[in-house]
Structure 1
Amino acid sequence: MRDVAVDIEVITEALALACRAPSLFNSQPWRWVSEGAVVSLFLDDARAPRYTDTTGRELVISCGIVLDHFRVAMAAAGWKCNVDRFPNPNNRDHLASIDFSAMDFVTDAHRQRAEAIARRRTDRLPFAAPPDWESFIAQLSSGTAQGSVSLHTIADGSRPELVKASELTRSARRYDSKYHAELIGWTADVAVAEGIPTGTLLSEAESDRVDIGRDFPAAGHRDRRGEIAQDHAKVVVLSTVDETRDGFVRCGEMLSSLLLDATMAGLATCVLSHLTEVPESRRIVESLTGSQAVPQVVVRVGSAPSGDAIGSPTPRRPVADVLEIRG
């Protein structure tokens, strides 16, 4: 049975967890509306970075991540999400409407996947090589974006080309004042509900050991994870068959699946979007995938030392700020 009205407390708790989803500069560009038996997801780009993501592509991908996170959180609460994508042709910011069906049984796997949302962190530090990588990739769940989004692993021998792509991005934006002002503006020394705390950024010494990261302002803390002299992360690319909002949402959903699968496998992850923001670097990434699909996002996946703390969870906006309850 569909269109079952779910208790608003269940919806609120699921959204609190789902909104742990990563987004460009932790901008959280989403708005939710609960009305009757339906919960709707809207793109909210009012305060989002405009000079980093000039087309809004990364913001829609971020909304795809939160959509899949919400699906996972609701499943752990005993509800299947039935997603109607772009239900209003006159409002392309209305990304999805969701109604619910009661599940017969909630498995331990459902609960563990939801718990992975809370455990996942963006780890910008260098990684050791992930163990059993081929097995992990082979078992990687395809999420809900099957067919429209492809995943490619970049060969270790192609790492110098990725470094070149990262350097091209840096060169292309060296004198882009608005971009650099935005980059600094979205970092903060104190815990705030939006943006990136400086405690999660790298010091100069740490940056020297990660060769394909975005050039955030250097943090002034101690050198961490010094036992890893060089980043040995595996690199994967998510690509889409086209440049549509539907493709971006589905890419975000598959990215969510990848991040949660990695977290459940005990692996660390870092999403890199700067490599696809500049045409020259994006073309390099595309050539390394061996596909004609369009690269959307790059992800480092690796192993972090056991018990290695990378800081407190990055703050998020309260649910009351992103959820409107009607009726």
Structure 2
Amino acid sequence: MHDTAVDIEVITDAVALASRAPSLHNSQPWRWVADATAVMLFLDDAAAPRHTDPTGRELVISCGAVLDHFRVAMAAAGWRSHTERFPNPNNLDHLATVGFSRLDFVTDAHRRRADAVSRRHTDRLPFAEPAHWDGFLRGLTPFSASQGVSLHVLPDASRAALVEASELTRTIRRYDSDYHAELIGWTADVAVAEGIPSAALLSPIESAHVGIARDFPAAGHGDRRGEIAEDHARVVVLSTGDDSRAVFLACGEMLSSFLLDATLAGLSTCTLSHLIEVPESRKTLAALTGSPDSPQLLVRVGTAPSSRATGPPTPRRPPSDILRFED
């Protein structure tokens, strides 16, 4: 761990930018504590969607994404991050401690990647097939924290099975009152800093043309599909060798890296986890990957028309709510 001090303003700005990371129902289950030389990331599941994610797996994945986003933000500010994962064996909610050293030079690539953090968002509408897909996959950023995490690209021929598995999750959870009440609670259109606003959800006609999606409450707006009538997204699956908290964190870090690479390539993304939450659909997904690893989430990737309007960015909690400085 390095003992270089970083200005409070730099840390605060980096935490604010990192908070644009995706999380389950935009629950933002993280908390940061900074001292003179390091920043510590903790899992904060006090208000988490417990019926959607009873084991907390998706919350740790969300924290892995915010951790990688934070490192990207610090690099654009001129700081190299040095990450120690799970530094306290007696507190596994202490997910990481990050120390810093000065970067010799901030490249344009560092700045563009931080800008991609701001531009990335979850788009649930249909996609056209992604352009230059094979080249994009070859150019993915190597990620050293991804040991135990693998990425599988599903063939187009698997789409029917994916749609069937997505429908299976809807059937199995049809009468799960706690789950549906939680969905409504996290999608209520009120002025709060968490949850998913209705502009980010699908209307009934839009939902009918995206076969692989969580069954959120329907939004009341019209049809925004434009010239993309049907979904032709490619689907990737992130899987892990086991179901430990350590690989969940690494999975989130790899998710962040993949999403930012896609954003930089001009592609749109939608992260999905509902197929993992039901054992029957998770088995189907594992069979489609052809791997013995455990699927943890999917990402739909494609091209959206530039004119598509899906409302303002989803809200985020301010740094004052999630960041504390210690003397």
TM range (shorter): over 0.9
For 1:315, the equivalent position in structure 2 comes to 315
For 1:265, the equivalent position in structure 2 comes to 265
Confirm or deny: 8 A CA contact 2:170 2:215 kept in the other structure.
yes
Confirm or deny: 8 A CA contact 2:163 2:212 kept in the other structure.
yes
Confirm or deny: 8 A CA contact 1:65 1:252 kept in the other structure.
yes
Confirm or deny: 8 A CA contact 1:144 1:254 kept in the other structure.
no
Equivalent-residue separation in structure 2 for 1:217 and 1:117 (angstroms): 27
- Secondary structure, aligned partner of 1:218: coil
Equivalent-residue separation in structure 2 for 1:224 and 1:146 (angstroms): 36
Match runs of 1:169-184 below 5 Å: 169-184=169-184
> Could you list the per-position Cα deviations for residues 46-77 of structure 1 after superposition, in whole angstroms to 9, with x for gaps in the alignment?
00000000100000000000000000000000
- Secondary structure, aligned partner of 1:196: coil
For 2:5, the equivalent position in structure 1 comes to 5
1:155 partner letter: P
Equivalent-residue separation in structure 1 for 2:68 and 2:98 (angstroms): 11
- Secondary structure, aligned partner of 1:231: coil
- Secondary structure, aligned partner of 2:309: coil
- Secondary structure, aligned partner of 1:46: coil
Q: How many Å apart are 1:2 and its aligned residue?
A: 2.2
Equivalent-residue separation in structure 1 for 2:196 and 2:306 (angstroms): 24
Equivalent-residue separation in structure 2 for 1:291 and 1:194 (angstroms): 35
2:78 partner letter: G
2:179 partner letter: Y
For 2:152, the equivalent position in structure 1 comes to 152
Runs of 4+ in 1 over 3 A off after TM superposition: none
| 1:114 pairs with 2:114 | yes
Confirm or deny: 8 A CA contact 1:142 1:254 kept in the other structure.
no
Q: How many Å apart are 1:127 and its aligned residue?
A: 0.3
1:176 partner letter: D
Match runs of 1:242-281 below 5 Å: 242-281=242-281
Which 5+ residue runs of structure 2 have no aligned equivalent? none
Confirm or deny: 8 A CA contact 2:61 2:251 kept in the other structure.
yes
Match runs of 1:28-107 below 5 Å: 28-107=28-107
Confirm or deny: 8 A CA contact 1:122 1:271 kept in the other structure.
yes
Identical amino acids, percent of aligned pairs: 69
- Secondary structure, aligned partner of 2:221: coil
Confirm or deny: 8 A CA contact 2:275 2:281 kept in the other structure.
yes
Q: How many Å apart are 1:225 and its aligned residue?
A: 1.5
For 2:20, the equivalent position in structure 1 comes to 20
Q: How many Å apart are 1:142 and its aligned residue?
A: 2.8
- Secondary structure, aligned partner of 1:39: strand
For 1:304, the equivalent position in structure 2 comes to 304
Q: How many Å apart are 1:311 and its aligned residue?
A: 1.5
For 1:294, the equivalent position in structure 2 comes to 294
Equivalent-residue separation in structure 2 for 1:142 and 1:279 (angstroms): 31
Which 5+ residue runs of structure 1 have no aligned equivalent? none
| 1:240 pairs with 2:236 | no
| 1:167 pairs with 2:146 | no
Equivalent-residue separation in structure 2 for 1:302 and 1:81 (angstroms): 31
Q: How many Å apart are 1:141 and its aligned residue?
A: 1.3
Q: How many Å apart are 1:150 and its aligned residue?
A: 0.3
For 1:131, the equivalent position in structure 2 comes to 131
- Secondary structure, aligned partner of 1:145: helix
Tell me the matched-pair count: 327
Confirm or deny: 8 A CA contact 1:189 1:199 kept in the other structure.
no
2:57 partner letter: R
Confirm or deny: 8 A CA contact 1:191 1:197 kept in the other structure.
no
Q: How many Å apart are 1:236 and its aligned residue?
A: 0.2
For 1:204, the equivalent position in structure 2 comes to 204
2:237 partner letter: V
Q: How many Å apart are 1:139 and its aligned residue?
A: 1.0
Q: How many Å apart are 1:307 and its aligned residue?
A: 3.3
For 1:220, the equivalent position in structure 2 comes to 220
Equivalent-residue separation in structure 1 for 2:304 and 2:23 (angstroms): 22
> What TM-score, normalized to structure 2?
0.98
